[in-house]
Chain A
């Protein structure tokens, strides 16, 4: 780590465009509470303790939103018997962000057992967020028993097929994908032919300078296939995005933060607001990780994303619930 300067800058990479290694370093610090912001083509990182002193306008960028994931409303076992409480803490965190996010992306597993009251509770709690718009994609826990019928009735307005859709915010193109239906025995997440065709068509006429954000529940890169942490046909989807200079992929499902950069694509998974899961291969199975109560909140979190118009990559910052 570099010397702390007067205004709390940890590292001033001062490179033109994106310094991939610098960006990676920044991402590694995100878990400890560093804020990385692209400003004027330069990637700067600030320690979280000094963030309050910085010029809000400087930090604001042009588009700010939050990703949360895996609220699993209805789960009530160790290590978290109170997923309602931790979701409320997440909302408090969102409301406490220096730059108010415009909207929330929920990358799925909203409910634990696809029960109506579970969805209702999440809707109710998220109403307490300053950001009023919430965009969802389903997790496998949201489409139980009815192949996603209830999910579509609740969240499917304006979507196609199993609930995929796209929208634009301040020149950034968002694509919500569904990769938790029609799963085959022994397989991974799957997007399917119909959705891929729709996506190819959806991005065809966009300028390559359009920043793209793709969000889906199961990771769109191969995190750990042994535990089903990957999507069989995501390579096809990513091929349609090859022409774009900035692609950010936001996923959930694995209940821990993870980052990977591949060319122009930044992959990121969010922490859960309900319970942590073990790192790949560090346990017999990817079930809920039991931890002492005082550690729980440090393993749950939200993700703050900022985009500055004209800059290359979005600034993605994870912070824990406690």
Chain B
């Protein structure tokens, strides 16, 4: 009798412990809430901020506030992302699912460059 109750007690403790662990894990939290979104403002022929550091799973949104159209194109081959041309107030979003450093530029004005560091 005693062994059985001890066993049950242990099992319960393990279950409870597992439950606490799961509740605390970032994956669990991310599923329960919206992933973080971070904006990059495009203005005066530049990306602001030029270097953006985000957590894995973050959706970055570029908003063109300039009076000239721009694009957001990754420099990888094959390209991780490539926006259509963005006129003033148009947006482009990309979710960074992998860790790494992603450099990009405006394919219309290639001197405009930026970087997203995903950790």
Contacts and interface: CB of A to CB of B under 8 A. Distances in A.
A228 B109 contact: yes
A140 B71 CA distance: 12
Contacts of B51: none
B75 to A, nearest CB: 5
B105 A77 contact: no
Contacts, number: 55
Interface in B50-108: 66-69, 71, 75, 84-85, 87-88, 103-105, 107-108
A284 interface: yes
Interface in A180-216: 183-188
B69 A112 contact: yes
A113 interface: yes
B81 to A, nearest CB: 14
Contacts of A284: 44-45
A144 interface: yes
A140 B108 contact: yes
Nearest to A290: B67
B2 interface: no
Interface in A201-247: 226-228
A227 B112 CA distance: 9
Nearest to B46: A285
A113 B67 CA distance: 12
A159 B85 CA distance: 26
A33 interface: no
Given A185-B75, A186-B105, A77 B110 contact: no
Nearest to B109: A228
B110 A114 contact: no
Contact of A228 (B71, B85, B111): B111
Interface residues of B, number: 22
- With most chain B CB atoms within 10 A of its CB, the pick from A78, A141, A183, A185 is A185
B97 to A, nearest CB: 22
A78 B67 CA distance: 9
Given A113-B87, A185-B113, A186-B113, A287 B66 contact: yes
A185 B44 contact: no
A256 to B, nearest CB: 16
A145 B110 contact: no
Contacts of B71: 144
Contacts of B46: 285
A128 to B, nearest CB: 27
A288 B85 contact: no
A66 B59 CA distance: 49
Please indicate which of the listed interface residues A78, A114, A145 has the most CB atoms of chain B within 10 Å of its own CB.
A145
A233 to B, nearest CB: 14
B110 A113 contact: no
A184 B68 CA distance: 19
Nearest to B88: A77
A284 B105 CA distance: 18
A22 interface: no
A278 to B, nearest CB: 12
Contact of B110 (A183, A285, A286): A183
B107 A113 contact: no
B22 to A, nearest CB: 42
Interface in B20-57: 44-46
Residue among B68, B105, B109 with most chain A CB within 10 A: B68
Interface of B: 44-46, 66-69, 71, 75, 84-85, 87-88, 103-105, 107-111, 113
Given A186-B113, A227-B111, A284-B45, 13 more contacts: A77-B67, A77-B88, A78-B67, A144-B71, A183-B107, A183-B110, A185-B104, A186-B110, A187-B110, A284-B44, A285-B46, A286-B45, A287-B68
27 contacts: A77-B67, A113-B85, A113-B87, A140-B108, A140-B109, A141-B69, A145-B85, A183-B107, A183-B110, A185-B75, A185-B104, A185-B110, A186-B110, A186-B113, A187-B111, A188-B110, A188-B111, A227-B111, A228-B110, A228-B111, A284-B44, A285-B44, A285-B46, A287-B44, A287-B66, A287-B67, A288-B67
